């Protein structure tokens, strides 16, 4: 049924004159928007979106939809990594880092025509911070106990006060899509460039241009240019690649290096390597005191010289060149150089030197006997590395590391486990020796990693939930992480986190292996695409993309 038919039906209803006028206006607006003819963009979501409520987002698919449909007060520009105004014209964070005030854009409406005001911002923040909601986005704002106070000063001004200082407070609002307090459509009324028009579970999510979107381009044309975006739910990457090659998809947001090279061989103009991303792959040893592993092995794993020797004996260049086909860089520490502000530029990649590694181990009492390394008590140095079955890159890295360590007499057993079993061993039974896994960083700010670096945290993987820091360097990391989190001075925060990175590199609780490059594929029919390293790599500027067919 087209717009005209819909309108005729509404006019036939004598009680619906007001609605009919509104629908006609909407039809006019849609017609105007349709005249822009930006086309339809099609790409795949790898999983079913779990929610359309932007405050409850936890999965990648829902985050992609939130990015395309949600209107935010401020936005981190994915290209420059700078914070830019969106719905907020300006903002100010108080000196104590506890309060933020926004001056809002006026004349903005939600996708259903409901007017946007400061009340909506206050409502969104109250909803976000409601403990009953269990919002992962809200957790980033929780720095202390107590309630969050919101104050609507005028329809265009609002201030929000937190019970304790929140580091990097303004940047956190990049993830907060504003909800309407008054719209009957609740979370389906959005302020972003697109709105959800149709959803077929297991199949597609159709987004259409938001006719009330406030932004225009430099020539005064209304954004977005695209008429719609079709998101196909497709977990199988082979199928995604085939469909892209057949021209049924316009882009692949994140590509494996293997697929990247295959596509580059035939169509180099379609692939984009944006350089090292924020994601890292790392190896770590089990340092949990109560872990059910022999005590002599615990002694190895808790020895910094042992960990450093292992790190030195791993050829990271080969990992990058062979496993990732050169589309990765040897990792230097907890943060990738891609994180322009927070990366400690003093850090250098660990040099590959198996001879130096063996020498260091021998200094520590280990000795080589018939090609096998033994500790001072005569125990053969044998341990297992587990990783998740099905992840080809990690399996290959494990086999290369197995071969590297064999050269210094260390026997490694590679075991692939299904993911739930691996997580159970890692977080509950602690029945493992070493693990290779990756960290996906979506947040540029180190506060996003508080749950990894604080010794009391559950995600302090090598030795979680320590009652008190078990080593002096962990105590120092705790102190520095807390110091940077409670400071609103960017310079002081940077200094503190630089030191954290140095300690991590010195102690190697995580042996950082590589930082993967951000790889993507974009069809030549898509205009305006400029893939970047930050998520969403290819459609971060979706409002300015066009598709010609």
Q: Which residues bind another protein (CB under 8 A)?
A: 237-238, 241-242, 245, 258-259, 262, 318, 322-323, 382-384, 386, 389-390, 392, 395-396, 398-400, 402-403, 413-418, 421, 431-433
Nearest residue (CB) to another protein, 285 versus 497: 285
Minimum Å gap between C-beta 396 and another protein is 6
Angle among Cα 479, 480, 481 to the nearest 5 degrees reads: 95
Minimum Å gap between C-beta 425 and another protein is 8
Nearest residue (CB) to another protein, 267 versus 457: 267
Could you identify the residue written with the tokens 């790898």? 46
Look at residue 81 and give its three-state secondary structure: coil
Minimum Å gap between C-beta 411 and another protein is 8
User: Do 6 and 191 meet the contact criterion of CB atoms below 8 Å apart?
Assistant: no
Cα–Cα dist 486/67, whole Å? 29
Local structure of residue 161 (DSSP, 8 states): E
Minimum Å gap between C-beta 420 and another protein is 9
Q: Which residues pair with 198 in a beta bridge?
A: 206
- CB under 8 Å to 414, separation ≥6 — which residues? 384, 385, 387, 395, 398, 399, 402
Residue 343 burial (10 A CB sphere; 0-12, 13-18, 19+)? buried
Angle among Cα 340, 345, 351 to the nearest 5 degrees reads: 125
Nearest residue (CB) to another protein, 261 versus 443: 261
Minimum Å gap between C-beta 390 and another protein is 6
Nearest residue (CB) to another protein, 266 versus 468: 266
Among candidate residues 92, 69, 70, the one with its CA nearest the CA of residue 157: 92
Minimum Å gap between C-beta 249 and another protein is 15
Minimum Å gap between C-beta 258 and another protein is 7
- CB under 8 Å to 377, separation ≥6 — which residues? 296
User: Do 251 and 539 meet the contact criterion of CB atoms below 8 Å apart?
Assistant: yes
Cα–Cα dist 223/221, whole Å? 6
Minimum Å gap between C-beta 306 and another protein is 17
Nearest residue (CB) to another protein, 433 versus 498: 433
Nearest residue (CB) to another protein, 226 versus 400: 400
Q: Which residues pair with 526 in a beta bridge?
A: 547
Give per-residue burial for 119-145: e unless 16+ CB within 10 Å, then b: bbbbbbbebbbeeeeebebbebbbbee
- From the centroid of its chain, how far is CA 463? 24
Nearest residue (CB) to another protein, 55 versus 255: 255
Among candidate residues 509, 505, 527, the one with its CA nearest the CA of residue 462: 509
Minimum Å gap between C-beta 382 and another protein is 6
Minimum Å gap between C-beta 432 and another protein is 6
Nearest residue (CB) to another protein, 395 versus 470: 395
Question: How does strand 99-104 pair with strand 157-161?
Answer: antiparallel
Nearest residue (CB) to another protein, 417 versus 530: 417
Among candidate residues 485, 517, 516, the one with its CA nearest the CA of residue 500: 485
Minimum Å gap between C-beta 353 and another protein is 17
Cα–Cα dist 28/31, whole Å? 5
Among candidate residues 232, 233, 234, 183, the one with its CA nearest the CA of residue 210: 183
Nearest residue (CB) to another protein, 395 versus 476: 395
Nearest residue (CB) to another protein, 13 versus 429: 429
Minimum Å gap between C-beta 95 and another protein is 52
Phi, psi of 247 (to 5 degrees): 85, 10
Nearest residue (CB) to another protein, 209 versus 425: 425
């Amino acid at each position: 049924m087209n717009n005209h038919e819909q309108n005729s039906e509404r006019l036939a209803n004598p009680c619906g004159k007001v609605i009919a006028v509104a629908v006609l206006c909407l039809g006019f607006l849609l017609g105007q928007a349709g005249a822009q003819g930006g086309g339809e963009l099609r790409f795949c979501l790898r999983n079913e979106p779990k929610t359309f409520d932007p405050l409850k987002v936890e999965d990648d698919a829902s985050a992609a939809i939130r990015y395309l449909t949600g209107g935010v007060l401020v936005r981190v520009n994915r290209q420059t990594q700078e914070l830019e105004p969106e719905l907020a014209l300006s903002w100010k964070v108080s000196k104590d880092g506890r309060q933020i005030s926004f001056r809002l854009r006026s004349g903005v409406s939600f996708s259903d025509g409901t007017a946007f005001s400061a009340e909506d911002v206050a409502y969104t923040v109250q909803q976000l911070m409601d403990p009953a909601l269990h919002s992962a986005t809200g957790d980033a704002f929780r720095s202390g106990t107590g309630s969050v106070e919101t104050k609507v000063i005028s329809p265009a001004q609002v201030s929000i006060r937190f019970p304790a200082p929140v580091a990097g407070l303004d940047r956190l609002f990049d993830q907060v899509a504003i909800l309407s307090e008054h719209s009957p459509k609740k979370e389906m009324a959005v302020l972003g460039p697109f709105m959800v028009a149709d959803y077929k579970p297991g199949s597609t999510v159709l987004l259409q241009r938001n006719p009330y979107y406030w932004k225009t381009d430099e020539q005064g044309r209304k954004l977005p240019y695209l008429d719609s975006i079709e998101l196909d739910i497709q977990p199988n990457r082979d199928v995604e690649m085939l469909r892209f090659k057949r021209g049924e998809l316009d882009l692949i947001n994140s590509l494996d290096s293997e697929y990247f090279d295959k596509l580059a061989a035939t169509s180099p103009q379609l692939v984009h390597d944006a350089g090292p991303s924020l994601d890292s792959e790392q190896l770590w040893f089990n340092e949990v005191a109560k872990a059910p592993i022999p005590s002599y092995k615990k002694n190895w794993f808790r020895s910094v010289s042992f960990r450093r020797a292992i790190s030195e004996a791993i050829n990271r260049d080969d990992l990058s060149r062979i496993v990732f086909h050169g589309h990765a860089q040897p990792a230097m520490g907890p943060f990738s150089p891609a994180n322009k502000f927070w990366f400690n530029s003093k850090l250098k990649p660990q040099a590959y030197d198996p001879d130096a590694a063996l020498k260091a181990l021998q200094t520590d009492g280990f000795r080589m006997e018939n090609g096998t390394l033994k500790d001072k008590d005569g125990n053969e140095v044998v341990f297992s590395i587990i990783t998740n079955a099905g992840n080809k890159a990690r399996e290959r890295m494990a086999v290369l590391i197995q071969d590297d360590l064999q050269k210094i007499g260390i026997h490694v057993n590679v075991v692939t486990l299904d993911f739930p079993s691996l997580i159970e061993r890692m977080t509950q039974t602690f029945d493992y020796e070493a693990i290779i896994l990756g960290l996906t960083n979506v947040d540029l700010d180190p506060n996003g990693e508080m749950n990894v670096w604080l010794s009391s945290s559950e995600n302090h993987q090598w030795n979680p939930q320590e009652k008190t820091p078990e080593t002096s360097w962990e105590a120092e990391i705790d102190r520095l992480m807390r110091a940077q989190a409670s400071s609103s001075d960017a310079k002081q925060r940077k200094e503190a986190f630089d030191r954290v990175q140095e300690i991590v590199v010195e102690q190697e609780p995580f042996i950082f292996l590589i930082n993967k490059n951000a790889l993507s594929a974009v069809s030549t029919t898509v205009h305006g695409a400029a893939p970047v390293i930050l998520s969403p790599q290819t459609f971060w500027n979706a409002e300015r993309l066009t598709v010609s067919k």
